[in-house]
Chain A
Amino acid sequence: MKGRAAPAIHTSPDRLLHTMKRQPDGTFAPIDFEQAMDEIAEKLSRIIARDGPRAVASSHGTGIVAHSLAMASTHSFMEAIDSPMNFGNESIDQPGKSVAKGLHGVWQAPGNGWVEPQVILVIGMNPLVSHNGFPNTWINGRLAKGMKLIFIDPRRTESARKATQFIQPLPGHDAALLAALCRVVIDEKLYDSAFVAENVQGLAELRRALERFTPEAVAAAAGIDAGELVTAARTYASARRGYAICGTGPSMSGSSTLVEYMRMCLETLCGHYLRQGEALPFAGVTMAPPPARAQATPPFPAWGAVFGGHETRVRGLRAYYAGSAPMPTSALPDEILMPGEGRARALLVCAGNPVLAWPDQNRTVAALKDLELSVAIDVKMTPSAQLADYVIACKQHLETPGISYLAEGLAFYATGVGSDQSYGQYTPAIVAPPAGLQVVEEWEVFYGLCRRLGLPFTLRGLNGTAATIDTDRKPTTDDLLEVFMAGSRIPLDELKRHPAGRCSLMKPRARCRARKAGPAASNLPTPTSSRISTPIRSPETASARASNSA
């Protein structure tokens, strides 16, 4: 159950009523929040003094979306103590979406399918239920106007019933299916040749890599007909405007990076991006106007030195290009369990449930039990919280103010998620926590720890600003939201004046800008040319390929 269960979640008997501390006999007893914070700060201080800041790790789960400041304040704390051990859900639920961007390169403007798409290709996603993939508000209207809707899914979902073409392969073939689509698009010359000529390198190399992915071979392995793939490729590539999107299934599969990479190849071949002069579907409300430019950013390192060069001690995994936290969560249990210098000894879990979410449950449980200090910041006593030393009881989302920046930011993350228009909202807290509860917001934990450790609490905003918050005079959530939104197109005060905090800018003035002269303008690392690359071009992959063939 999701949002419709909000009232039940707020009044649930499972709700944590106050902060809890594990007792010597293993049971939990209530403890005053400030007292718990004093004890946690003292223990953190001791661990950092003995083992260095790396011994303190943080991990956030998907619950952070409930509170606008939860993730940013986690990062503020980690930055203050100078620990690189910053983990999150993104590296286990959709790492491919970020990594593939580095391997392929990106277009510096959104996809062109947000406005009046002629085709949508949905792979492993159920938009009518999840709202991921397309806005339910306009799908029927688009279909009535003749838009093609192709679903590829092992399961005939509720959404798939709306498909103009439904392909039902065996699970696990998404990368090969996309490869076959790309092959047909190249062989039948259905791709946008002008766009490819101007912006893409490596087309011939890509075609060579696709040699064995004939529609016949891929279809036979996936249990479908080759003709279905040919039809889908022709439908998709013949549309001037459209987008392809992969959901949770492909993102959590073993080859999620390759799937996402092949999706980007298909998108790039078809030139499904906004061009110079086209109006942007969204223009920023809680965020600054997007720096959209009709220009390719070439491949950039998706992991490694440019992200601080931080490595895990196990398997040599490196910090990577991620929207949220840069360290790979799959390594964290071993980082805790493996003896030696740099071992993680304290863990702060914010709105996450490692026992249920991380790979290898047995090892995760062993790791959580092995910690010297384990703090869970949550709204209920999850299986992970039951293994913690302290469980900090938090407010539910309707008990806190918030802004809708996530939906806005996601519109750049992938076409098909987030807001399809210039829309933003501020909400005040709707209800107070029930009487008698001692509950806090996540940011209060990280702010309070910085204050106790005598460290600055620097909040990094949505638009690139950083402000150090006074730790002598505690701010309100609204104070922090104002700092967080600094540089936004619509200031927080103005947003609050709109009815119910809803701000919708009907006419986005922003348009996709022209290519910039000289090297590709980007805040991403080390552009080497100004073209998107279809074959994967990273030193790691190249050497892996060489050693495989040797």
Chain B
Amino acid sequence: MTLHPTFCRICYHLCGTVIEVDDEGRTVAMTGDKDNPFSAATTA
């Protein structure tokens, strides 16, 4: 299991997110990125 900071591209606000990827390379969870200065853990 690995965590990858990125940003969401479902809409144009581009909230900072962290994607959890399992050992088989699949995305399993998404949370707000608390270290993102723009969206600070929140997501639209």
Name A residues whose Cβ lies closer than 8 Å to a Cβ of B: 2-7, 9-11, 62, 65-67, 129-132, 135-137, 397-398, 402, 404, 406-407, 410, 417-421, 423, 425, 427, 430-432, 434, 499-502, 504
Q: How far is the CA of A499 from the CA of B44 in the complex (A)?
A: 23
B9 touching A421, Cβ below 8 Å: no
Residue in B9, B10, B26, B43 whose CB lies within 8 Å of A11:
B26
Residue in A4, A407, A432 whose CB lies within 8 Å of B30:
A4
Known: A6-B30, A132-B13. A431 touches B35 (CB 8 A): no
Q: How far is the CA of A478 from the CA of B22 in the complex (A)?
A: 25
Residue in A2, A67, A425 whose CB lies within 8 Å of B7:
A425
Question: Please, which residues of chain A bring their CB within 8 A of the CB of B25?
Answer: 431-432, 434
A402 touching B44, Cβ below 8 Å: no
Known: A500-B6, A504-B37. A410 touches B12 (CB 8 A): yes
Q: List 30 A-B contacts (CB under 8 A).
A: A2-B8, A2-B43, A3-B15, A3-B17, A3-B44, A4-B30, A6-B17, A6-B27, A7-B28, A7-B29, A10-B26, A10-B27, A65-B12, A129-B44, A131-B42, A135-B39, A136-B39, A137-B42, A398-B27, A404-B7, A406-B12, A407-B14, A425-B16, A427-B7, A431-B27, A432-B25, A499-B35, A500-B5, A501-B6, A502-B5
A137 touching B26, Cβ below 8 Å: no
Known: A4-B30, A419-B38, A504-B37. A430 touches B9 (CB 8 A): no
Interface centre among B10, B25, B29 (most CB of A within 10 A): B10
Distance in Å: Cβ of A435 to nearest Cβ of chain B: 9
Distance in Å: Cβ of B33 to nearest Cβ of chain A: 8
Distance in Å: Cβ of A11 to nearest Cβ of chain B: 6
Distance in Å: Cβ of A502 to nearest Cβ of chain B: 6
Interface size on B, residues (CB 8 A): 33
By beta carbon, the residue of chain A nearest B40 is A137
Distance in Å: Cβ of B17 to nearest Cβ of chain A: 6
Residue in B27, B35, B36 whose CB lies within 8 Å of A430:
B27
Q: How far is the CA of A426 from the CA of B4 in the complex (A)?
A: 12
Distance in Å: Cβ of A168 to nearest Cβ of chain B: 24
Residue in A65, A136, A402 whose CB lies within 8 Å of B11:
A65
Distance in Å: Cβ of A398 to nearest Cβ of chain B: 6
A7 touching B13, Cβ below 8 Å: no
A2 touching B44, Cβ below 8 Å: yes
Chain B's interface: helix, strand, loop or mixed, by majority? loop
Interface centre among B4, B13, B17, B30 (most CB of A within 10 A): B13
Residue in A7, A10, A425, A430 whose CB lies within 8 Å of B14:
A425
Question: Please, which residues of chain A bring their CB within 8 A of the CB of B12?
Answer: 65, 406-407, 410, 417-418
By beta carbon, the residue of chain B nearest A406 is B12
Nearest first, the 9 A-B pairs at minimum CB distance are A3-B8, A500-B5, A131-B44, A397-B9, A7-B27, A427-B6, A504-B37, A131-B13, A66-B9
B36 touching A502, Cβ below 8 Å: yes
B42 touching A136, Cβ below 8 Å: yes
Residue in B8, B9, B33, B38 whose CB lies within 8 Å of A67:
B9
Q: How far is the CA of A296 from the CA of B21 in the complex (A)?
A: 50
By beta carbon, the residue of chain A nearest B39 is A137
Q: Besides the contacts A2-B43, A132-B44, A425-B14, what 4 more A-B pairs have beta carbons closer than 8 Å? A: A2-B11, A3-B11, A131-B39, A500-B5
By beta carbon, the residue of chain B nearest A404 is B14
Interface centre among B4, B15, B21, B37 (most CB of A within 10 A): B37
Question: Please, which residues of chain A bring their CB within 8 A of the CB of B16?
Answer: 425, 502
Q: How far is the CA of A209 from the CA of B17 in the complex (A)?
A: 48
Distance in Å: Cβ of A376 to nearest Cβ of chain B: 19
Question: Please, which residues of chain A bring their CB within 8 A of the CB of B27?
Answer: 6-7, 10-11, 398, 430-431
Question: Please, which residues of chain A bring their CB within 8 A of the CB of B20?
Answer: 7
Q: How far is the CA of A103 from the CA of B17 in the complex (A)?
A: 39
Distance in Å: Cβ of A130 to nearest Cβ of chain B: 6
B14 touching A406, Cβ below 8 Å: yes
A431 touching B21, Cβ below 8 Å: yes
Question: Please, which residues of chain B bring their CB within 8 A of the CB of A4?
Answer: 30, 43
Known: A4-B30, A430-B4, A430-B27. A66 touches B42 (CB 8 A): no
B30 touching A3, Cβ below 8 Å: yes
Question: Please, which residues of chain B bring their CB within 8 A of the CB of A504?
Answer: 37-38
A434 touching B17, Cβ below 8 Å: no
Question: Please, which residues of chain A bring their CB within 8 A of the CB of B44?
Answer: 2-3, 129-132
Question: Please, which residues of chain A bring their CB within 8 A of the CB of B28?
Answer: 7
Distance in Å: Cβ of A38 to nearest Cβ of chain B: 30
Residue in B9, B26, B33, B35 whose CB lies within 8 Å of A65:
B9
Q: How far is the CA of A425 from the CA of B10 in the complex (A)?
A: 16
By beta carbon, the residue of chain A nearest B6 is A427
A430 touching B19, Cβ below 8 Å: yes
By beta carbon, the residue of chain B nearest A413 is B12
Q: How far is the CA of A327 from the CA of B37 in the complex (A)?
A: 37
Distance in Å: Cβ of B14 to nearest Cβ of chain A: 5
Q: How far is the CA of A418 from the CA of B12 in the complex (A)?
A: 8
Distance in Å: Cβ of A441 to nearest Cβ of chain B: 12
Question: Please, which residues of chain A bring their CB within 8 A of the CB of B29?
Answer: 7
